[in-house]
Structure 1
């Protein structure tokens, strides 16, 4: 199974691919570490963003998108643009999308701890939240 972990930040979707096969996980190479939506207020830009993810999922045979959910209200609430990007991915007919909030991630990681330190993954530091949501999704599926 290949999962694409996604952290939405501003107009960007920061991504990390994580593949699980027979209890071992791999970090497949990906042509991009982030996908940007130039202007989430324009329908054309949102459609382009959505089509870019559909193409990425086809090219890398991604089974699941796992998005790190943001709070809807409060001090750490997500911005409107992030919610638009999230919705564009959720309504794409060919994409399987799951939102994982912080509580779900912590519960999944409590039962299936990360086997290596993030620094050993050779991913960029800004990809850590995307990696963690992908790993938490797989841990929640009891794939290990």
Structure 2
């Protein structure tokens, strides 16, 4: 099963694709929502994301959850992006808590692929923990 792991940071969607625990090195490593107040930019982002899902035959999306309040809460734009991702008609979307990912990492020996970028590690762990 092809699983897309996602970490949302600011206006960036960091992407990783895992197929049966095997990392797939993608050309597209992140998508950016340039202006969350511009309808054309939102449509452009949605179309790019749907095209990514179709081209890579993604069967499931898992997103690393962000806190809704407190010092480490996610920004408003990340929640807007999350909603757009959840509305995709192509595959199911699950949210995974940082605690679940951390617990998985402690119970398993994780070797990050050499072609994985440092900024993709959390998205990789999110996808890998669910595959």
TM-score w.r.t. length of structure 1: 0.83
Counterpart-to-counterpart distance in 2, 1:103 and 1:82? 19
**Aligned-pair distance for 1:41?**
1.6
Q: CA RMSD in A?
A: 1.6
Give runs of ≥4 in structure 1 deviating > 6 Å: none
2:10 matched residue in structure 1? 10
Q: Spell out, residue by residue over 1:40-87, the C-alpha distance to the aligned partner (whole angstroms, 9 max, x if none).
A: 122222222122111111111111111111000011000001111110
Counterpart-to-counterpart distance in 1, 2:40 and 2:85? 14
**Aligned-pair distance for 1:104?**
2.5
Counterpart-to-counterpart distance in 1, 2:109 and 2:30? 23
2:67 matched residue in structure 1? 71
1:104 matched residue in structure 2? 100
Q: 2:128 aligns with which of 116, 119, 135?
A: 135
Q: Gaps (5+ residues) in structure 1?
A: 139-144
TM-score w.r.t. length of structure 2: 0.90
SS of residue in 2 equivalent to 1:38: coil
**Aligned-pair distance for 1:93?**
1.8
Q: Gaps (5+ residues) in structure 2?
A: none
CA contact (8 A) 2:64 2:97 kept: yes
Q: 1:48 aligns with which of 32, 41, 44?
A: 44
